[in-house]
Amino acid sequence: MTRVLLLGSGAREHAIARALCHSGASVSCFASNLNPGIMALAAGFELGELNAPQAVVDFATRHRAELAVIGPEAPLAAGVADALRAAGIATVGPDRELARIETSKAFARDLLVRHGIPGCPRYRTFDALEGVADWLAELGDGYVVKYDGLAGGKGVKVAGDHLHSHAEALDYCRELAASGGRFVVEEKLIGEEFSLMSFCDGETLRHMPAVQDHKRALEGDRGPNTGGMGSYSDTSHSLAFLDDEDISTAHAINEAAAAALHAECGAPYRGFLYGGFIATSDGPKLIEYNARLGDPEALNVLEILQSDFVAICHGMATGTLADCEVEFRPAATVCKYVVPEGYGVKPRRDCTLIINEEQLAASGASLFYAAVNQSPGGTLETTSSRAAAVVGSGAMFAAAEAQCEAGLAAVSGRGLHVRHDIATPQLLERRVAHMRGLRSSHEAPAVMAA
Ligand code: AMP
Ligand code: GLY
């Protein structure tokens, strides 16, 4: 039985814990909240400072961990993977320098350009206001301003959504420059977003099914951006608005990025490589890289992973992924998050979460706890972040969505919000129609002047 250290305690880590235990591992979790789902599965569980390398190594040593799996990005940025490797523990999660693919937007963009990897929008990096106005003038109405560091998804402001004039864009840039931050100003891409995550050992990549997340808090893609309200994947492991070439291009971009990282950093990237793409009329473009599994996307893909997850993690951590079988069931998956009302802006603090276990089991859906704490009395207390995710799967979309909703019906409480429109036929059709419209206007021949 492999003894695995799991770092992190959200819904993604609950899903990772379940997949590891399913493959026969004994999991010890170093956590930031009292996640009842992980506590029920784990042989060891302790609250601690996830971003403190020595504290994590001490915990791993006490639990005699042979393998470590790092869930969130902040410990990667803090050098936790470096410390675990230095302590002789095979680790899934890149070293700090390699994790710059996520922690610095400018590094990720420059890497693509330096290595001639396609999919990069036009961009420039700044640390002061000089030159920004000219660059905005060149970009016109389609621009995005990004803080060049980890900001929990809050550092990105998009023209038309958050910024409504060059003056507003300059104000935001001024704010970033004043706080000593570098920032990237880039072309706004128009299309449909999708996540393409790969298992990576530095040499070999094995790709996961494509997933679409929903960042906006409210139904109909309205409201503020969030960490992700829910996601789906299709039986084909592609998505209805993508063609085969989009998928193969995204695979090739991830492969080229991993090779470029190896070449530049002189060390293999060992971990999950998550490309956040947008399908445009001109092919897939890269929005960002993450050095971890997506949350909620991990819940979709791990639900249908057929192969031995411990073996895959071991393969990534030791450079032997080429020897591993990586297969996913041909099923559709739908994930919807239960969050406190106001999540994304000003979340309610007085929410309660009650799970009817019998009803949940009867639905066949999976439930993963996120940022909740189980009180000594057994009550589930929510925090300012997402509370729990329900995942349904099925041979067809409709069955997966129905199972997810049946699972959600087993969740009750006060002050909770769910985006029920995720993966409904109306929303799926809207995505396909959006992409069809973009592709056909791109392909339409230019009107010739007489
Ligand atoms: P990021 O933190 O880089 O993933 O950005 C957060 C969100 O901002 C993305 O999920 C997109 O919806 C949006 N975004 C970021 N970059 C661009 C871009 N170049 N064009 C259009 N939307 C973008
Ligand atoms: N699903 C968005 C993220 O994990 O960053």
- Give residue 388's Cα distance to chain centre: 16
pLDDT at 224: 86
Is the Cβ atom of 158 under 6 angstroms away from ligand 1? Answer: yes
Q: Identify the residue whose C-alpha is closest to ligand 1 atom 2.
A: 153
Nearest CA to ligand 2 atom 3: 294
Distance (Å) from CA 226 to ligand 2 centroid: 9
Residue 287 CB–ligand 1 contact under 6 Å: yes
Ranges assigned E (strand) in 42-122: 44-47, 67-70, 90-92
- Whole-number mean pLDDT of the chain? 95
**What is the reported pLDDT for 151?**
75
What pLDDT does residue 19 have?
98
pTM of the shown model: 0.95
Rounded to the nearest angstrom, the distance between the alpha carbon of 117 and the centre of ligand 1 is 19
In the predicted model, is pLDDT for residue 444 greater than 70?
no
pLDDT tens-place string over residues 78-104: 999 999 999 999 999 999 999 999 999
Strand order in the sheet with 380-382: 372-374, 380-382, 352-355, 411-412
213 CA distance to ligand 1 middle (Å): 12
Q: Which of 73, 148, 156 to mutate to test the pocket of ligand 1 (most atoms within 8 A of CB)?
A: 156
What band does 152 get if pLDDT is binned at 50, 70 and 90? low
Regarding the beta carbon of 230 and ligand 1, being less than 6 Å apart is answered no
pLDDT in tens, 189-211: 999 999 999 999 999 999 999 99
Q: How far apart are CA 144 and CA 82, in angstroms?
A: 33
Give percent of the chain with pLDDT exceeding 90: 89
User: Minimal CA–CA distance to 301: which of 203, 428, 207?
Assistant: 207
- Bigger pLDDT: 106 vs 151: 106
Going by alpha carbons, the residue nearest to atom 9 of ligand 1 is 287
> Confidence class of residue 449 from pLDDT cuts 50, 70 and 90?
very low
216 within ligand 1 shell (Cβ under 6 A): no
pLDDT surpassing 90 at residue 443: no
Ligand nearest to the CA of 300: 2
Q: What's the count of helices (H) and strands (E) in the chain, helices before strands? A: 15, 25
Predicted confidence (pLDDT) at residue 446 exceeds the cutoff of 70: no
CA distances, 319 to each of 149, 150, 242, 310, 336 (Å): 29, 28, 31, 14, 34
Of all protein residues, the one whose alpha carbon is nearest to atom 5 of ligand 2 is 294
pLDDT in tens, 17-38: 999 999 999 999 999 999 999 9
Where residue 375 falls among pLDDT bands split at 50, 70, 90?
Answer: confident
> What residue owns the CA closest to ligand 1's atom 16?
287
In the predicted structure, residue 450 carries a pLDDT above the cut 60: no
Ligand 1 close to Cβ of residue 144 (< 6 A) = yes
Per the model's pLDDT, the better-predicted residue between 185 and 149 turns out to be 185
Atom of ligand 2 nearest to the CA of 228: 1
Q: Which ligand is nearest to the CA of 230?
A: 2
pLDDT tens-digit map of 310-356 = 999 999 999 999 999 999 999 999 999 999 999 988 999 889 899 99
Residue 69, pLDDT score: 98
64-73, 176-185, 264-273, 351-360: least confidently modelled range: 176-185
**Average pLDDT value for residue range 399-422:** 97
175-190 core/surface letters (b: 16 or more CB in 10 A; e: else): ebbeeebbbbbbbbbe
Confidence class of residue 364 from pLDDT cuts 50, 70 and 90?
very high
Query: How deeply is 196 buried, as exposed, middle or buried, from its count of CB atoms within 10 A (0-12, 13-18, 19+)?
Result: buried
**Per-residue confidence (pLDDT) for residue 445, from 0 to 100:** 59
* CB of residue 215 inside a 6 A radius of ligand 1: yes
Is the pLDDT at 154 greater than 90, yes or no?
no
> What's the average model confidence in pLDDT over 148-153?
75
